[in-house]
Amino acid sequence: MKRTFSIGGVHPHDSKISRGCAIEPLPLPPTVYLSVAQHIGAPAKPVVAPGDKVKVGQVVAEPGGFVSAFIHSSVSGTVKSVAPRKDLAGNEVMTIEIAVEGDEWMEGIDTSDTILTEIPDDNKAIIEKIRLGGVVGLGGATFPTHVKLSPPPGSKCGMVIINACECEPYLTSDFRTLLEKGEQVVIGAAILRQVMGNVPCTIGIEENKPEAIEHIKAVIEKLSKISPKYQGISVLSLKKRYPQGGEKQLIDAVMHRQVGSGALPISVGAVVQNVATALAVYDAVLKNKPIVDNSVTVTGECFPRQANLLVRVGTPLRFILDYLGGLPENAVKVISGGPMMGRAVSNLDAATLKGTGALLMLTEAQTRRKPASNCIRCGKCADACPMGLEPFLLNRLAKVDDLEALEANAVQDCIECGCCLYSCPANIPLLDNIRLAKGAVLRAIRARATKK
């Protein structure tokens, strides 16, 4: 019996139709747009002005606080403007526009394909390099990695978990990264486990990626012969189930420990990092290469050409789609991310962010919601909720704005995975209401904290 998390979850069809497509570099766009809010936390502060010449890897925005990250130019060229621009949801965000001229990289960045296996011993220097490389969690939440690697005093890490579940349907960029850059990912994982105090490291991969499991096992065997630093890394094949890639779910699946309400993973001794983050850590520490590109899955049944692309951060979405033959006529919705948790794109002129992992195109039949009917008290949503919440109850409380009862029923623990909505036979928009209520409750909790 393979391991998985203990409560809730659903089994959507995995639809990984782009799994055979190797990662190919996308040509440089004529212009890139770098948003200053590419991570959770304070937005970065631009340090360039219109007219400045920049090279690939040059810092264009500095962290705006402790929980914030550097942003580097992903291209070489001239800064055109630093002004608000509409993001993929149509909201205005401060954006640095750079006209691309050539492809000149900063000195000191190793752009060769040589795999470096020598991990430096100075952990502080490693974390500083990760910070300077603008590394953020690329699994979706884009939490600055250096903050995660500096746990609060008194807490002790017992295991580093590399999140290679990729449990969302359609997404294959992490899978391709494992196959094509397995060495780099494992070295990145070794760096992470050394920083956390030479703790064991587990790479959790879902069973629907057997090639990746075999490949990573072979890579670990090969590398552990080179240096003892690579011993202690293991691969764990997990049962396929959504949302296994959720931080708390993965910890439950791998360590059989449950993170309490409102607590951080470090409270049970775990640090979880995504595959792409491990790769970014490798790049930042050993190659001096900040995050300037990331792999993006472009997929959808209605899309004639599936692809996994290596895209420079800030590439306009329309440029990516045009490169692959344009938006198909029967595609009515473009989603940034997976079908379960991704966000619908309302503005194709918006640009990719560091955390953009996929562009998914859906047809009318795939996406149109059926009309909601009354709750029949079947309890499927409560069965499906991986956080052990009662979505039907939260939905009802959310409708009457009963914030106290919502907080008592732990609406703030909702991870917005969408399992309740997916499993509801009455098509009730559970998550829409719960998400609003969660926002209101979190605001109330924060307001209370600042009052004290």
User: Is the CB of 197 or the CB of 439 nearer to another protein?
Assistant: 439
| Minimum distance, C-beta of residue 152 to another protein, in the bound complex (Å) | 31
| Minimum distance, C-beta of residue 407 to another protein, in the bound complex (Å) | 19
| Minimum distance, C-beta of residue 414 to another protein, in the bound complex (Å) | 14
Label residues 179-209 b or e (16+ Cβ within 10 Å = b): bebbbbbbbbbbbbbbbbeebebbbbbbebb
Place of tokens 């550097």: 70
For the purposes of burial, counting CB atoms within 10 Å of the CB of 419, is it exposed (0-12), middle (13-18) or buried (19 or more)? buried
Strand partners, 45: 62
Contacts of 202 (CB under 8 A, 6+ apart): 159, 160, 161, 162, 233, 234, 235, 236, 254
User: Is the CB of 40 or the CB of 436 nearer to another protein?
Assistant: 436
Q: How many Cβ atoms sit within 10 Å of the Cβ of residue 413?
A: 16
User: Is the CB of 224 or the CB of 346 nearer to another protein?
Assistant: 346
| Minimum distance, C-beta of residue 169 to another protein, in the bound complex (Å) | 19
| Minimum distance, C-beta of residue 428 to another protein, in the bound complex (Å) | 9
Q: Do residues 209 and 178 touch, judged by C-beta distance below 8 A?
A: yes
User: Is the CB of 369 or the CB of 452 nearer to another protein?
Assistant: 369
Give the Å distances, CA to CA, from 6 to 31, 239, 359, 387.
47, 11, 31, 10
User: Is the CB of 57 or the CB of 140 nearer to another protein?
Assistant: 140
**Of 202, 206, 208, nearest to 243 (Cα)?**
206
User: Is the CB of 279 or the CB of 317 nearer to another protein?
Assistant: 317
User: Is the CB of 114 or the CB of 374 nearer to another protein?
Assistant: 374
> Which chain residues interact with another protein by CB under 8 A?
86, 89-92, 332-333, 343-344, 346-347, 367-369, 429, 432-433, 435-436, 439
C-alpha radius of gyration, the chain, whole number = 22
